[in-house]
Amino acid sequence: MWHQTTNFSNGVNPHNELTLANAYRLWDYKGNSRSVAYMTGAPAVFSLTQVWQTRMAIAGIKTHTIDCAMRFNTYAISDEALRQQVSPESIADSITITRAFTPYQILDAVQELKKNEVVFILAPAKQFFDGDVAFDEGLFLIQKLVRFFANAHERGVALFVVERPSYAAPAFSTFLTDMKPLVAGSSFNLANAGAADAWRLRYSTHGRISKEILSLPGSASMRESTTSAHLLKNTPLPGQTAQMQFAFI
C-alpha cells in the first residue's frame, strides 16, 4: 500500500500545549456528558485520526475503528508511534478495527457497539451512495444510520465520525442535515494552510469556533525527532516483528 507520512505534531499557537497531534483532548469522550464528534475537511483528516488513536493508545486509551472505505492505515499508526519513541507493537492491542463495506454491514457494526467504547467511524456515508444501492434504499438506510448513531450515543458509546466534505449524491445533504443536531457540540474542520504539512484545525461547539490550531512544517527539532523515529523503525527491538498486527473484527 502506498503511504505518505504526514506530520501534525508542530503547533504554532497551541492552547495549553494543545497541538493538532493531541487535539482529540477537545472531544469529551467519557462520562455522562460525552458528545458525538464529527470531523471533515482536507483528505488528511483520516491520517490525523490515526495520529490521535496512536496518542490515545500511548496514553492507555483503547479505541475501536469502523472502517467503511479503506481509510485505516497501519503505517500511519506505526509512523506516529515511532515519532513518539514507542514500539508500535506495544500499542497494537489498544486499537481494534472492523471493516464494513456495505450499508447493512455498517448498520450492524454500529448496533454491536457497547457502552464506554471509544469508536472512530471512517467515511461511513460513501457506501450508501454505491451504484448497487437504489436511491430510495440508500436514503432510507443512511437516515437509519443517523438514528443508530443516536442510539449508540444513548447507550454510552463515544462516537467520532470522520467524513469527507461532500459527495455528488443528493442524499448526502440529508445525511448532513440529520447529523447536525447530533454533533453540534463537537465539530472539527481541517484545512490546508497553504503549504505542504501546513494545517489549520478549527474546533466548533454549537456553531461557534471555540479553538483554532495552526500547524506549520516542522522545526529543526521536529525533523530530528522524525529522523530518530525512522532510525528506530529500521532497528526492531528483540522479539519485535517488522509489521504491526492489529485485531480485525
pLDDT surpassing 90 at residue 150? yes
pLDDT surpassing 90 at residue 11? no
What is the residue range of 101's domain? 20-234
Higher pLDDT, 227 or 127: 127
Predicted local confidence at residue 249, as pLDDT: 58
In total, how many domains does the chain have? 1
Cα 179 to Cα 162: distance, rounded to the nearest angstrom: 12
Contact 47, 76 (CB under 8 A): yes
Predicted local confidence at residue 130, as pLDDT: 80
* Residue at 51 is within a domain: yes
Q: Which of 66, 47, 36, 39 is nearest to 4 (CA)?
A: 47
User: pLDDT band at 84, cuts 50/70/90?
Assistant: very high
Q: Which of 10-14, 17-21, 120-124, 225-229 tops mean pLDDT? A: 120-124
Cα 100 to Cα 200: distance, rounded to the nearest angstrom: 30
* Residue at 127 is within a domain: yes
* Averaged pLDDT for residues 46-61: 96
* Residue at 48 is within a domain: yes
* Residue at 93 is within a domain: yes
Predicted local confidence at residue 13, as pLDDT: 60
Predicted local confidence at residue 2, as pLDDT: 36
Alpha-carbon torsion angle 231, 234, 235, 236, nearest 10: 130
* Residue at 241 is within a domain: no
Instruction: Return the percentage of the chain with pLDDT > 70, whole number.
Output: 81
CATH number, domain containing residue 223: 3.40.50.300
* Residue at 5 is within a domain: no
pLDDT tens digits along 193-204: 888 888 999 999
pTM for this entry: 0.84
Q: Which residues contact 211 (CB under 8 A, 6 or more apart)?
A: 15, 18, 23, 26, 202, 203
pLDDT surpassing 50 at residue 238? no
The secondary structure of 137-191 as a DSSP string is HHHHHHHHHHHHHHHHHHTT-EEEEE--S--SSTHHHHHHHHHHHHHTT-EEEEE
* Residue at 1 is within a domain: no
The pLDDT mean for the chain works out to: 84
* Averaged pLDDT for residues 104-124: 96
* Residue at 36 is within a domain: yes
pLDDT surpassing 50 at residue 241? no
